[in-house]
Amino acid sequence: MYRTNAGLIITMKEHILIIGAGAVGQVYAYHLAQAGYHIHFLLKEKYLEEAQQGFVLYNLRQDKQRQQAIIFNNFSCHTSWQSLANIKLSQVWLCVSSTALAAMDLAPMKAAIGDALVVVLQPDPDDVSRVQQTFGKEQVAAGMINMISYHTPLATEQTAREGIAFWIPPVMPMPVDGEVEGVSALLAVLKKAKISALWQKQFAIANAHNTGFLMVFLAALELSDWQFKQLSANKALLKTMIAAQQEVFAALHAEYGSKASMVLRQIKPWMLPVILKLARHVAPLDMETYLQAHFMKVRSQTLLLLDAYVQRANKSGIAVPNLQGLVDKLDR
């Protein structure tokens, strides 16, 4: 913000860089752009032409039939750090999978972004730690994705045009964490973008149990051909899945000292069929088809996390026969 000679106050747009122009990156970028931020995407060269044509989005809270396409094109595209050299970035959001982040060389990014806040959205606490090792704790804030977003149409859907559909549940604020200055800056941006958020200290560690629960569930669901009914009917697999989840909780507790929530620790095999039936009626999408389409796309991340749970358990001397049995059954 500055004042001209005529006394007018001019507000300069803050520049935010999004790394990853997939389903997550597009949706958060759209909300940030709507709030007045100048959005930049860092893309691979092969995606540049498509991105420059703009993105098509569908807000499922307002458009359950996916017929009112939102055209999102008020952003800039870049294919190298050099093209960002003269841009003063305030924040950089990492909207890629854990697998993609693990493969990233963070050194060029560090040289290019100056003191911009780095926002880590990956699900594993180790992802946050790795970024902090490069940038320092003061320059890093963590957030947890608080929405479902995916390429539409799924096999069971019809849309006016292909694009990204998203659903942000009304009572699911994004937990964020980090040092005071970074968290305050992130919360201010989220508030302006009308994305509900709250400061939850060490949420990444607490959420590790939720992620572990989900990853084991996904392994069992994949072994059931992504069919809720098939998984619900397989009593032996349900029992193994619940036992494997408890093993993951034990491994995470040994490493981080935190326990899974009482709700997760009390889930029994007979409860899951009920939960899966309810899931069909809560979200405005076909959950089975979505889970298969999305998590097969990011399957490498699921396998990475499952393998990490086994390694954590081995390091702590914790036996995980049920988890290992599930992991061994997954195709590699």
Is the pLDDT assigned to residue 280 strictly greater than 90? no
Residues 72 and 173 in one domain: yes
3-state secondary structure of 282: helix
Q: Which domain holds residue 213?
A: 205-329
Q: Which tokens go with 326?
A: 């599930």
Domains contained in the chain, number: 2
What does the pLDDT look like over 60-94, one tens digit per residue? 999 988 989 999 999 999 999 999 989 999 999 99
Beta-sheet pairing, 89-94 with 15-19: parallel
Residues 166 and 229 in one domain: no
The enclosing domain of 293 has a CATH number of 1.10.1040
Q: What angle do CA 148, 304, 282 make, to 5 degrees?
A: 20
What does the pLDDT look like over 27-60, one tens digit per residue? 999 999 999 999 999 999 999 999 999 999 999 9
Residues 290 and 144 in one domain: no
pLDDT (average), residues 181-194: 97
Residues 196 and 86 in one domain: yes
- Mean of the per-residue pLDDT values of the chain: 92
The enclosing domain of 180 has a CATH number of 3.40.50.720
What does the pLDDT look like over 95-122, one tens digit per residue? 999 999 999 999 999 999 999 999 999 9
Domain boundary among 201, 234, 249: 201
The structure tokens 């409860």 sit at 271
Band (8; pLDDT cuts 50, 70, 90): very low
* Residue 134 buriedness (CB in 10 A; 0-12 / 13-18 / 19+): middle
Residues 117 and 209 in one domain: no
Cα–Cα distance list, 103 to 18, 149, 243, 281 (Å) = 17, 23, 32, 38
What does the pLDDT look like over 241-271, one tens digit per residue? 999 999 999 999 999 998 988 888 888 877 8
pLDDT (average), residues 272-289: 83
What is residue 69's DSSP assignment? Answer: P
